[in-house]
Amino acid sequence: MLHRKQRLAPIGRVRTVKVGGGVVDQLQIRARTEQDADCLMRELAAYSPTRTGRTISVEFHHRSETGVLGVLAAVETCLSANEIRSVQVELDGRSYMLAPSR
């Protein structure tokens, strides 16, 4: 379940950068613990995530709604399966709290 929060601590801006003539967007996920971040990295392996501390970034070279929803679904699966309370997600300069559906 994705909840919009007005006052989340900033986790960095979603960066749009040019790479080899193309545009790359990033979705960032901030886990509460190192163990949660480890779990998310395993779940998101198909998306080639990168990690700095507890912040995980997924790049979209040709971003589509389907791609973003796929990442969010994988995160929610990980949260539900591993009893992770929530994570912060930032996309397009907006922060969200993602929690498992109950």
Count: domains in the chain: 1
Per-residue pLDDT reduced to its tens digit, 19-47:
444 455 889 999 999 999 999 999 999 99
Please name the amino acid found at residue 36.
Answer: D
Q: How far apart are CA 18 and CA 61, in angstroms?
A: 10
- Could you list the beta-strand ranges (E) of 2-93: 2-4, 16-19, 22-30, 50-52, 55-60, 87-91
The whole model's pTM is what?
Answer: 0.74
pLDDT value at 74 more than 50 = yes
Q: How far apart are CA 18 and CA 36, in angstroms?
A: 31
- Assign residue 29 the CATH number of its domain: 3.30.70
Q: Which domain holds residue 25?
A: 2-98
Q: What are phi and psi of 65, to 5 degrees?
A: -60, -40
